C-alpha cells in the first residue's frame, strides 16, 4: 500500500504542467486505536498508534488566486478561489483540506494560490482516519508553505476544528492527535482532557497486529456518532444535578452506582457505563503493556469490544462477526473494533505463526456469514505527519 512518488510526480506535472518548478512533498499516516474507544470526547484516555500507510501530498504555490485540488482517489478537479473564508461543498472529499485551509484563514494565515495533488493509501471510511490524515497533511503543508511556524499541537486542534465545523463530524481529538504525533514503533497514551501524552513502545514479541476491514459501506456514521455524543452530554447533565462533573471520565468504576441512581433513561445509562468502564480498561491495558502482559492486554481488548457492542451499540453484524468468530481461532490474543464503529475495521493481536491461518479462516467465515469480502492489513507503526522533501531537491 505504498504511494509511488515518481508516479505521483508524473501525474502532478501532467495535471499542472511546468516541470521546471518542483512541488513539495508531504506525508501523513492513518491511525489505529488499540483501546480507549469513544472516550476522547468524554475527557478520557485513548491508546492509538500511527500506521505506516497514509496520505501523500504534492503541492506547489502559484501566483494565481486559485486553489486547485486533485486526488488520485477521487475523480475530477476542484478549483476554488483563494478567500478569507470558505464554504463546504456537500459530500465532497475536498471539505477535509479546504476545512483546514479555512481554519488557517480564520487564524489570519492565508494561502496563496496552490496546486495540490493528494494520494491516499488508507481505505476510505474504514475507521483508520483517512480524514484526519488528509487534514493533517494539509495542515503541515500550509504551515510550511506560509511559514506560519505553528506547533504540531496547534495544527492538531485546528484540524479537529475543521472536521467539527466544516465537515460536520463532531469528533474528538484522538485521530488528528495520533496522526500528528505518531512515532515509529510506539503507541500514544493520551489523556484527552489535559492533552498530556506519553509514548509507549509496542513490543508484541512473536505476535502481530492484524487489521481487518469489514468493507461494509458506512452510511449514517456521522449522525449516529453525533447522537452518541449527545447521549454522553445528557448523562453528564443528569449526574451533575447531584455531583457536578465536566465529563464522564472524571468518574471511575467505583462510581458506577451513580448511573442507576441518577440516570433514569436506560439507554443513556448504558452509554455512560461504557465510557466509564472503557476508560478504566484503557488504563489497565496500558499498564499491562508496560509489564509485558500481552495476554491481559488482549483480554481487555475483548472486553472493550463487548462493551462497545452491548452498552455503546456501535458495532453491528459485520464487526461482531469478525470479532466473535475471530476469537474462536487459534493464536488470537485479543480482537475488537477500532475507531467510530458502525462498520470499518477490527484490530487484533495474533500470534505470528497463526496469522496466515487466521486470515484464511476468518475470511471464509466472514464471507459465508455476511456475503462481504474482508480485507486484511499487517501494518507497521509509523511516524506522524511531516514534510518529506522540499522543493528543488530531486529524488
**Residues near ligand GLA, by CB under 6 A:** 37-38, 40-41, 171-172, 174-175, 339-340
Residue 23 or 339 having the CB closest to ligand GLA = 339
Q: 210, 378 in Cβ contact below 8 A?
A: yes
User: How many Cα atoms are found within 13 Å in the side-chain-facing hemisphere of 256?
Assistant: 12
Instruction: Tell the smallest beta-carbon distance from residue 83 to ligand GLA (Å).
Output: 27
Active-site residue numbers?
Answer: 175
The torsion defined by the Cα of 237, 239, 245 and 251, in degrees rounded to 10, comes to -130
- The residue (of 223 and 393) whose beta carbon lies closer to ligand GLA is 223
Least separation in angstroms between residue 290's CB and ligand GLA is: 22
Q: Is 303 helix (H, G, I), strand (E, B) or coil?
A: helix
DSSP 150-177: --HHHHHHHHHHIIIIII-----SHHHH
Tell me the closest approach of the beta carbon of residue 340 to ligand GLA, in angstroms.
Answer: 4
Which residue's CB is nearer to ligand GLA, number 38 or number 281?
38
Cell numbers placing 223: 449522525
**CB 34, CB 19: distance < 8 Å:** no
Distance in Å, CB of 165 to ligand GLA, minimum: 14
CA–CA gap between residue 347 and residue 338 (Å, rounded): 6
Which CB atom, from 207 or from 270, has the smaller least distance to ligand GLA? 270
Q: Which of 135, 84, 138 is nearest to 106 (CA)?
A: 84
Find the shortest distance in angstroms from Cβ 354 to ligand GLA: 28
Smaller CB separation from ligand GLA, 70 or 133: 133
Listed in order, strand segments (DSSP E) in 169-258 are: 186-191, 197-201, 207-213
Q: Pairing state of beta strands 24-33 and 48-62? A: antiparallel
Say if CB 42 and CB 276 are below 8 A apart: no
Amino acid at each position: 500500500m505504498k504511494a509511488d512518488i515518481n508516479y505521483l510526480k508524473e501525474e502532478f506535472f501532467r495535471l499542472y504542467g511546468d516541470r521546471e518548478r518542483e512541488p513539495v512533498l508531504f506525508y501523513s499516516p492513518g491511525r489505529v486505536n488499540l483501546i480507549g474507544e469513544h472516550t476522547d470526547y468524554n475527557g478520557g484516555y485513548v491508546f492509538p498508534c500511527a500506521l505506516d500507510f497514509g496520505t501523500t501530498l504534492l503541492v506547489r504555490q502559484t501566483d494565481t488566486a486559485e486553489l486547485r485540488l486533485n486526488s488520485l482517489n477521487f475523480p475530477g478537479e476542484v478549483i476554488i478561489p483563494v478567500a478569507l473564508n470558505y464554504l463546504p461543498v456537500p459530500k465532497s472529499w475536498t471539505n477535509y483540506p479546504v476545512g483546514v485551509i479555512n481554519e488557517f484563514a480564520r487564524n489570519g494565515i492565508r494561502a496563496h494560490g496552490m496546486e495540490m495533488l493528494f494520494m491516499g493509501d488508507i481505505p476510505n471510511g474504514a475507521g483508520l482516519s483517512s480524514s484526519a490524515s488528509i487534514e493533517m497533511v494539509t495542515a503541515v503543508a500550509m504551515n510550511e508553505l506560509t511559514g506560519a511556524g505553528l506547533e504540531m499541537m496547534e495544527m492538531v486542534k485546528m484540524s479537529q476544528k475543521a472536521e467539527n465545523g466544516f465537515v460536520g463530524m463532531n469528533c474528538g481529538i484522538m485521530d488528528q492527535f495520533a496522526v500528528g504525533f505518531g512515532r515509529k514503533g510506539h503507541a500514544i497514551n493520551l489523556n484527552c482532557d489535559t492533552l498530556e501524552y506519553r509514548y509507549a513502545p509496542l513490543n508484541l514479541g512473536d505476535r502481530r497486529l492484524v487489521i481487518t476491514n469489514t468493507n461494509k459501506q458506512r452510511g449514517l456514521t456521522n449522525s449516529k456518532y453525533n447522537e452518541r455524543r449527545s447521549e454522553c452530554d445528557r448523562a453528564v447533565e443528569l449526574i451533575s444535578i447531584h455531583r457536578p462533573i465536566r465529563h464522564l471520565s472524571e468518574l471511575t468504576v467505583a462510581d458506577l452506582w451513580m448511573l442507576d441512581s441518577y440516570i433514569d433513561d436506560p439507554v443513556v445509562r448504558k452509554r455512560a457505563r461504557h465510557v466509564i468502564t472503557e476508560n478504566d480498561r484503557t488504563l489497565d491495558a496500558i499498564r499491562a503493556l508496560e509489564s509485558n502482559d500481552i495476554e491481559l492486554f488482549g483480554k481487555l481488548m475483548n472486553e472493550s469490544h463487548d462493551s462497545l457492542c452491548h452498552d455503546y451499540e456501535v458495532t453491528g453484524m459485520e464487526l461482531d462477526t469478525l470479532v466473535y468468530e475471530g476469537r474462536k481461532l487459534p493464536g488470537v490474543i485479543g480482537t475488537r473494533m477500532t475507531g467510530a464503529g458502525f462498520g470499518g475495521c477490527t484490530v487484533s493481536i495474533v500470534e505470528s505463526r497463526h496469522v496466515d491461518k487466521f486470515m484464511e479462516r476468518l475470511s471464509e467465515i466472514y464471507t459465508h456469514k455476511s456475503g462481504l469480502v474482508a480485507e486484511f492489513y499487517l501494518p507497521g507503526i509509523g511516524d506522524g505527519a511531516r514534510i518529506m522533501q522540499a522543493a528543488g531537491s530531486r529524488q
